[in-house]
Structure 1
Amino acid sequence: MVDLIQQRVLSAISASVELSPITILKAEAGMTPVPTIKSALASSHFNILISDGDWRTGGYLAGLQTLIDGELSWAKENRPKLVEAAQQSLKRLFPLLDSDAFTVPKDLTNTSSKEERTRFYHHEYQNKLLVGLAEFLINCVKQRNERHIIVIDRAAALSGSARNLIKLLVRLDDDGRLFRFVLIDYEQRLYFPDASEVHFGRYSSQELGPTFDPDLAPEKHRQIYEASGGNPLIAEALSKCAAAGLPVIGYLDPVAIVDLYLAGLDTGERHVLLKSYIESNCTTTDLIAQRNYAIFEQATADHLHEQLHQACLERYLAGKAPLVMLHALSIRDKHKRLELLAEPSQILQSIGLYDLWFGYFGELFADPALRTYGSGDASVNAAFINAAFVLYSLGCGRVSVPYLDEFYKTFPKSRYTPTVLYAQSMTYARYQQPVNLTLAEEYALRNLETIERDFREHEKYDYIKVFAENAYAYIKAKQQKYGEALAFCAEGLGKMLKAYGDERFKLHQSILIYNTSQVYELIDELSRAEKQLREAIAYDPYYGEYHNDLGNLLSKVAGREAEALEAYARAIELCPPYYEAHLNRAALRNRMGDTAGVLADLDRTLVIKPNEWRAHFEKGNVLMRQDRPKAALESYLAAAEINSKNADLQSNLGLAYSELGRASVSIAHYLRALELNPWHAPTHNNLAIEYFNEGRPDMSLNHATVAVEIGEDPDYLLTREHIEKSLQADLASRRDRASASSAKPV
C-alpha cells in the first residue's frame, strides 16, 4: 500500500532528517505514515525506534520511554557509574525505580508519608530533573557509539515534560549527531522551533486497493475511495459497511454510514466492540470501533474505564507499567472523573510535573460544580487544596485565593481548614507582590483560633498547631519581630518532640529548625544560624537545598571559604542539576579570585538554565575584568534579552560599549540605568567620564558630583577632581588667551 506514497515523501523525510534534528510530519487523522517512514529510513545508519507519544496511554514521558528504558537497562548492566551519576534525577522522575547503582538515600521530601509531606518542589525543579535525564541518555548513547532516529506517532499528545526533554536532547547534543526525531502530527498543531515540516499527503486509489473488500465491484471501489478522500481509516470502514449491504453514496457522510452500520448490530455485539476498544487503550485504528465508543451509552463506558483505571494504577504502583491516565481522563461523569484523578494527581505533584498536572486539572479547577464537590474531607477536596497550594507558590494567588476562600466558606469544619488558612496566610506574607502582612496576620490568627476551637481533640493537634505557628513565625520575622519568630520556632519544635518523638513528622521538625536558622541569619547571629542549619541537615542529610544554604551562610564568614565550597559541592552532588548552587559558588569563587572556577560554574549554570540572566551578567563581568569587552558585550546582551530592567546590567552595557569606542550607545545605556535607578553611583561616575571625553565638561561635572555625594568609592572623588582640574586649566587657558589678545604693542 505504501509503495507509491513512499515516492512522494521518501526524499523529503530523508533530506529533512539529515538537515534538522526534528522533523514534523503533518498527516490527516487516519493516515498510516509509520510504515512509510520506516521504509524511508531503512537505509540510514541510525537505530530506528518507533513509539507512541500519547502521554495518557504511555505515561508522562511517553514517546521517549522506550529510549529511556533501553538505555537504563544497558547502563545498569554495563555502566552502573552512569546510573550513579544521574541517580538524583532518575530516582525522582521515576519514584518506583530501584537500582543497585543508587548510592544516595532519598531525602525526607521523597520518603515522608502523605500526612507528613509539608514541602513542595519549586516549579523549576522539573527542568533540573529533565536536564539530568537528558545528560544521562546522551552519555549512554555516546558510550555505546549509537545514533538514534526516534519516530513518535501521535506526537501532538506528547506531554510538556516529553517535549522539553526532546528540546534538551537536541540542545545538549554537542556534535548534533546523536538524536533525530520524526514527530507525526495528526492534529496540525505541533510546534518546535527550527523544526522541518513535511506534509504526508493522501493515498491514491491504487494505494488503498488492499483495504477494499475484494468481492466489491470496481465501481464500489471508486465510490468508497471518493467518499474516503484517500484516508485509509475511512476507506476500511466504508468497505466493511458496503460488504454488509449498506450503500456508499456521495450524499451520505461517511460517519452517517458508519452509524447506520452500528444500528444494524445488536447490543451484545456493540458491547463487545466497545469493550475491545477500551481495552486497547482506545488506540484501535478502526473508525467503526471509534464511532461506536463515541455514541455508546455513557455509564457502560465509564464503568469499563473505571475498572481499567484501577488495574493500570495498581500496575504502576507495583512498578510494572507507566502511569496510564487515559481511563480516568475518559470518564464522562465529571464527578467520578475527579475522584479517579485524585491519586494520579498527587503522584504527578509529588514528582514536580506541574505542567502535565495542570494541563488537565486546570479545567477541573475552573468548574464551579467541582470546586465545592465532596464532603470537605474527601480526597477530591485534598486534590483541589494541593492544587491551590502549588498555584500560590507559583505566583498565581489571584487564582488560589478565591478558591481557598470559597472552600473555607463551604466547608468551615473540614479537616483541611487549617491547611487552607495556612495557605492564605502564606500567600499574603510571601508570594503575593507586594506582600500584605496585615492580612497575612489576620489569616494566621484565625487559623490558630480555629485549631483551638475545632481541633483540640484531634490526634494530630500538636502537629496542626505547630504547623500554623510556623506560618505565624514567618510573618513575625517579616515584621522584624525576630524574638517572637524565634520563640514560635523553638517552642514548636519542643512540642513536636514531646508529642511525637524525633521520628514522626521528621520533615516538619527539620523545617522548624531550618526556619530558626533563617531568623538567626537575618539578625546576623551567624554562629547560631549555622548551629541550627547543621541540626536541620542532621535531620534531613540528603536534602541538597540545606547544603546550598550552608554554603551561602559560610561564605559570609571570613576564613571559612573552603568549608563553603565543600557545602556547595555536596549540594550539587545531592540534587538534580542544581544551577542555583553553581551560581552561588561562582560568586564565592569570584571573591576568592578563582576566575577559571567562576567561568566553569557560570557555564554549567547556563547549560542547566540558558535563560538565567544573572549567569550571563556575571560572565560578562568576568570577561570585562579580563579586558575582553567584545565577549563581555555578548554576555551582557544575552542577559538583557531576558531582563532589561536592571540598573547594574544597563550600566555595564554602557561600559562595554565605551570600551569598544561606541560612545553614543554607551551614553544611551548609562541613561537607561539612571532611569531604573537615579541613585546608581557607578553609572553617574562612568557617565561623567563619557561626557568628559565627549567634550561636555559641565554635564560631566554634574554627574561626577552626584557620584561623590551618593557613593563611597574613592575613585569617584578622583574622577571629579580630574574634571575640576581640567575645567580650571581650561578656564586659565581661556583667560591667558583673552589677556594676550587685549595687550597692545609698545
Structure 2
Amino acid sequence: MSSNRQTPRHSWLSGPDRTVRAATAEALAAAGHLTTVDCHRRLRGPYTAAGSLLRAIVPEVLRTRAALVARHAIEILSVAPELKDLVDAPPQTLTSLASPTERTRYYSPLRTRRIAHGLTEFLNAWAQEAGSTAGRPQLVLFDNLHEADPTDQELITVLLRRARTEVLTIAIGTNASPDLPDGLAQALDRHARRTELPAAPAAPDTRVQNELLQAYITSDGTSDIPAEAAAYRNADPRLRCGLHRVRAVELEEDDDWSLRLGAIAYHRAHAGGRTDDECRDLLTAADYCLRMGYYDAAIELGGQGRDSFDPVAQERLYCVASGKTAQALGALGRTEEAEVIYRELRGRYTDPVVHMVSSYALSMLYTRIHPAERQDSDLAKQYVNNSIAIAKQLPDPADRAFHTVFHENGLALVELRRGNPETALRLVTEGLARLDRELEPGKQSLHRSVLLHNRAQVNVALGRLDEALEDFNGVLALDPYYPEYYCDRAALQYKRGDLEAALADYDQAATLTPPIHELYYNRADARAAAGDTDGAIGDLRYVLELEPDYLAARVNLVSLLIDEGDTELASVQLAQGLELHPGEPDLLCTRGLIAMEQDDADAALRAFDEALAADPLRSAALANRAVLHYEAGDHAAAVADLTRALEVTGDDADLLYNRGFAHQAAGSWRAAIADYRHALDLPGADRDAVECQLAECQAALAVAVAG
C-alpha cells in the first residue's frame, strides 16, 4: 500500500535556548514574514499563544476583511477576550449569558477542538490575504510549546495538519527533550522536519544577583536562562514573595483579562497568603475557565485554591475551589480523581449544601460520567435521592423550588438510564410546571430551557415525535442561538421524514458554531436521503478534513463515490482510510465493492474474505460475497452466505429476496417460495419483483410435481 505522507513543510526547532530557536526561525523566514508568539501557559493560561497571535493580527484583518472576523467571532473572542471592544460579539446563548448562580450547563470538552478548527480556517484565510498583499508567505513561530496549555497544544496539533502550507507555515520551538501529548508528538513527527539546535555560546553575564532575580520575575517565571533561574532559587524567600506581589500589581494595572489566568495567578500563588479579594479573584479565574470549557486550566487554578485555602478557616472558599476542580476533572474523564474530592468534602463537612451538591455530583458520576464498567444506576439513584431530600429542606422558597427541580431533573436522567422513560417524563414535566408556578418570569431561564430540551429527548425516546417537535420548537424560542438544539431538532425532523426541515436546521446550526464534525456528518446523511449526492459528498469530505480518522464518514464517503461511479476518488479515499485503520472490515468491504465496480471478481472476493476474517459477522461482506458466488455459479455458497447474513441482521426483505433468487437458480423451488413469501411480509420489499419471482417458482414447482 502506498502512503499518502508528504514531505514535511513545517519546522520543529528543538534546543535548550530560545534565542537560538528565534534566530533559526528568522533565517527560515528570510523570504517571508515571521510572527513569533510565546506559548508558555504561565503568561496567559489557556490560549496564551493563540490569543497573542490574534491580538497582533485581528485589528488589521478587521480593516481589510471584516466579514472574515465576524464569521469567526466566537473563536476570536473565546481565545482573545481583550478584543471585545473591537470585535462585535456573536449572538449569545442562554449558556453564555447565564450568571454564575444560574449556570447549570457546561460545554463539552470537545469545544476547544472545534475552536481549534475554526481558528485554523481563520488563520489560513488571514495568511492567504496577507501573502497576496505582501507577496510572501507567512511563518508563525510558536515557541515554548512544551510549556503550553493543552488548548494551545491542541490548536497547533490541528494547525500542523490543516495549515495551507503554500501561504502559512508553522515553526515549533521546544526544549531538547519535550514532554508532549501523544497527538501533538505524532503531528510533529508527521508534518514537521525536526532540527536539533545547540545551546547559545556561553557569554559573560555581568548582572548582579538582584538583577538576575528581577529578570526572572519579570519573565513571569518563563525564563530559560540558567543564571536567572538560579538567582530565583537562591533568593531570600521573603524577597521573592515581595517581588511576586509587586509584579502581580503591575500586571493587574494592564487590565488584560487573560493575564489573570496566567501570570497574575502565578505571581499570587508565590506571593504568600492571599487577601480575601485575591482569593475571590482566583475563584473567578477558575470559574471562567470552567465556564469556557478550559478544563485543564480550571483544574490548575482550582488546585491552587485547594492548596492555599485553609479548609477550616476558609471552609467556603475551600469547598468552592474543590467543587470546581472536581467538576473539571469529571469533564476530562478523570472521574476517579473527581470522586475522591467529592468524598473528601462529604467526610470533612456537615454543611447540608455541601452534601446536596456532592450527592448530585456523585449521582452523575455513577449514571453517565464514570466509565461504563463503573456505572451503577442503583447507587446513582441513592445519591440523587439524598440531594433531593436536602434540597426540599432549604429555607428560602425560591432556592428550595429551583434546587428541588434541578436535582429531580438529575433523577429523571437516572430513571431514563434505568429504563423508566415515563417516570423521567413526569419528573421533567412537573419540574417545568413548578418553576413556572414558583419562580418569577425570567429567573433560571437556562434551566427552564434545559428541562424543555430534556423533555423533548424523552419524548423522542418514547416515540412521541410530534410532542418532541413541539418541545424543540419551544426550547429554540427560548434559546434561538444554541446550535445543538438545531442539530437535535434536525435529527428529529429526519426521523419524521421532513428532510427539508432537517436540512434547514443543520444549515442554521452551521452558522452558529465553530466546526462540529458530527453536524456535517449528519447533514450529509440528510442530503443523501434528499437526493443531493454532491452536497453529501462535500460534507463528508469536510468531515474528513476536520477529523481524518472518523471511520463512519470515510465508509459513507467511499460508498457514495462508488454509487456515483467515481471509483478513482473512492480508491484514493479508501487507501487513506486503510492507512489510518488497517484491517478495518468496513473499509475492506468497500474495497470489495470498488473491485466489483471494476469487474475484478477475484480482487473483490479477496477483499470480502479479508473483511470476514476480521469480522465474521459483517453482514455487508456476506451479502456481497454471496453475489460473487452467485455470479460464479456457486449457488450453494451464495445461499450459505445469505443465510449467515440473515442470522446476523434478522429478517431483511432484500436478503430474503436474494436468497430466494439463489435457491431459484439452484432449482430449490420450495425454499425459494418460502423466502419470497417471507419477504412479502416485511416492510421495504420490492413487491413487484418478489411477486414476479414467486409466480415463476410456483409455476416451476407445479411442473416439477406434475412431471
1:630, 1:656 within 8 Å by CA — same for their partners in 2? Answer: no
| AA of the residue aligned to 2:193 | S
| AA of the residue aligned to 2:536 | V
Partner residue in 2 for 1:266: none
1:84, 1:101 within 8 Å by CA — same for their partners in 2? Answer: yes
Q: Deviations over 1:365-390 (max 9, x none)?
A: 9x9x7899466853443233233224
- Determine what percentage of the aligned residue pairs are the same residue: 21
Partner residue in 1 for 2:192: 195
Q: 1:429 Cα shift?
A: 1.8
Q: Deviations over 1:216-272 (max 9, x none)?
A: xxxxxxxxxxxxxx423xx325xx6xxxxxxxxxxxxxxxxxxxx86xxxxxxx5x7
Task: Indicate yes or no: 2:284 matched with 1:343.
Answer: yes
Distance change (3 Å), C-alpha of 1:155 and 1:443: closer
| AA of the residue aligned to 2:469 | E
Question: Which of 58, 68, 93 is the equivalent residue of 1:72?
Answer: 58
2:248, 2:268 within 8 Å by CA — same for their partners in 1? Answer: no
Distance 1:549 1:78 in 2: 37
Whose radius of gyration is greater, 1 or 2? 1
Distance 2:343 2:385 in 1: 16
Partner residue in 2 for 1:531: 470
Distance 2:244 2:528 in 1: 59
Partner residue in 1 for 2:682: none
Question: Which of 226, 234, 239 is the equivalent residue of 1:295?
Answer: 234
2:588, 2:608 within 8 Å by CA — same for their partners in 1? Answer: no
Distance 1:600 1:391 in 2: 37
Where 1:503 maps in the other structure, the secondary structure is: coil
Where 1:542 maps in the other structure, the secondary structure is: coil
Distance change (3 Å), C-alpha of 1:714 and 1:409: same
Q: 1:300 Cα shift?
A: 4.1
| AA of the residue aligned to 2:290 | Q
Q: 1:539 Cα shift?
A: 1.6
Distance change (3 Å), C-alpha of 1:652 and 1:336: farther
Q: Deviations over 1:647-674 (max 9, x none)?
A: 7566445544555541223212034333
Distance 1:89 1:654 in 2: 42
1:493, 1:509 within 8 Å by CA — same for their partners in 2? Answer: yes
Q: TM-score, normalised by structure 2?
A: 0.80
Q: 1:694 Cα shift?
A: 6.5
Distance 2:385 2:218 in 1: 53
Partner residue in 2 for 1:33: 20
Q: Deviations over 1:81-102 (max 9, x none)?
A: 1111112222333345325663
Partner residue in 1 for 2:202: 231
Partner residue in 2 for 1:165: 155
Question: Which of 41, 61, 70 is the equivalent residue of 1:55?
Answer: 41
1:52, 1:58 within 8 Å by CA — same for their partners in 2? Answer: no
Where 1:674 maps in the other structure, the secondary structure is: coil
Q: Deviations over 1:685-736 (max 9, x none)?
A: 334334556676544332323445654444323432343344459xxxxxxx
Q: Deviations over 1:532-572 (max 9, x none)?
A: 112111221111111111111112223x3222211111111
Question: Which of 355, 367, 375 is the equivalent residue of 1:429?
Answer: 367
| AA of the residue aligned to 1:199 | E
Q: 1:67 Cα shift?
A: 3.2
Distance 1:106 1:113 in 2: 13
Distance 2:369 2:594 in 1: 36
| AA of the residue aligned to 1:33 | V
Where 1:25 maps in the other structure, the secondary structure is: strand
Where 1:574 maps in the other structure, the secondary structure is: coil
| AA of the residue aligned to 2:194 | E
Partner residue in 2 for 1:177: 166
1:376, 1:415 within 8 Å by CA — same for their partners in 2? Answer: no
Question: Which of 246, 249, 266 is the equivalent residue of 1:328?
Answer: 266
1:47, 1:149 within 8 Å by CA — same for their partners in 2? Answer: yes
Aligned pairs (5 A) from 1:664-675: 664-675=606-617
Q: 1:49 Cα shift?
A: 2.2
Distance change (3 Å), C-alpha of 1:32 and 1:706: closer
Distance change (3 Å), C-alpha of 1:652 and 1:425: farther
Q: 1:157 Cα shift?
A: 2.2
Q: 1:473 Cα shift?
A: 1.0
| AA of the residue aligned to 2:90 | V
Range that drifts further, 546-555 or 428-437: 428-437
Range that drifts further, 287-296 or 642-651: 642-651
2:37, 2:53 within 8 Å by CA — same for their partners in 1? Answer: no
Partner residue in 1 for 2:409: 470
Distance change (3 Å), C-alpha of 1:197 and 1:422: same
Question: Which of 469, 477, 497 is the equivalent residue of 2:436?
Answer: 497
1:650, 1:673 within 8 Å by CA — same for their partners in 2? Answer: no
Q: 1:591 Cα shift?
A: 1.0
Q: Deviations over 1:381-433 (max 9, x none)?
A: 32332332243344433332333223222224263432322222122222331
Distance 1:397 1:371 in 2: 23
Distance change (3 Å), C-alpha of 1:177 and 1:636: closer
Distance change (3 Å), C-alpha of 1:109 and 1:482: same
Partner residue in 1 for 2:101: 115
Partner residue in 2 for 1:443: 383
Partner residue in 1 for 2:490: 551
Q: 1:178 Cα shift?
A: 1.8
Partner residue in 1 for 2:514: 576
CA RMSD, Structure 1 to Structure 2 (Å): 3.7
Partner residue in 1 for 2:688: none
1:514, 1:532 within 8 Å by CA — same for their partners in 2? Answer: yes
Q: Deviations over 1:111-160 (max 9, x none)?
A: 21111111111111101112112211221222232522223443432333
Q: 1:322 Cα shift?
A: 7.5
Aligned pairs (5 A) from 1:654-665: 654-656=592-594, 659=597, 660-661=600-601, 662=603, 663-665=605-607
2:160, 2:192 within 8 Å by CA — same for their partners in 1? Answer: no
Distance 2:369 2:45 in 1: 32
Q: 1:633 Cα shift?
A: 4.9
Distance 1:497 1:310 in 2: 47
Q: 1:637 Cα shift?
A: 5.7
Distance change (3 Å), C-alpha of 1:421 and 1:80: same
Distance 2:662 2:436 in 1: 67
| AA of the residue aligned to 2:448 | Q
Distance 1:377 1:62 in 2: 32
Where 1:106 maps in the other structure, the secondary structure is: coil
Distance change (3 Å), C-alpha of 1:411 and 1:116: same
| AA of the residue aligned to 1:452 | K
Range that drifts further, 129-138 or 711-720: 711-720
Range that drifts further, 605-614 or 90-99: 90-99
Task: Indicate yes or no: 2:71 matched with 1:85.
Answer: yes
| AA of the residue aligned to 1:70 | A
Q: 1:588 Cα shift?
A: 0.9
Range that drifts further, 389-398 or 542-551: 389-398
1:673, 1:683 within 8 Å by CA — same for their partners in 2? Answer: no
Partner residue in 2 for 1:590: 528
Q: 1:195 Cα shift?
A: 1.9
Q: TM-score, normalised by structure 1?
A: 0.77
Partner residue in 2 for 1:255: none
Q: 1:602 Cα shift?
A: 1.2
Distance 1:273 1:173 in 2: 39
2:592, 2:607 within 8 Å by CA — same for their partners in 1? Answer: yes
Distance 2:524 2:355 in 1: 44
2:151, 2:294 within 8 Å by CA — same for their partners in 1? Answer: yes
Gaps of 5+ in 1: 1-18, 204-229, 241-260, 263-269, 730-746
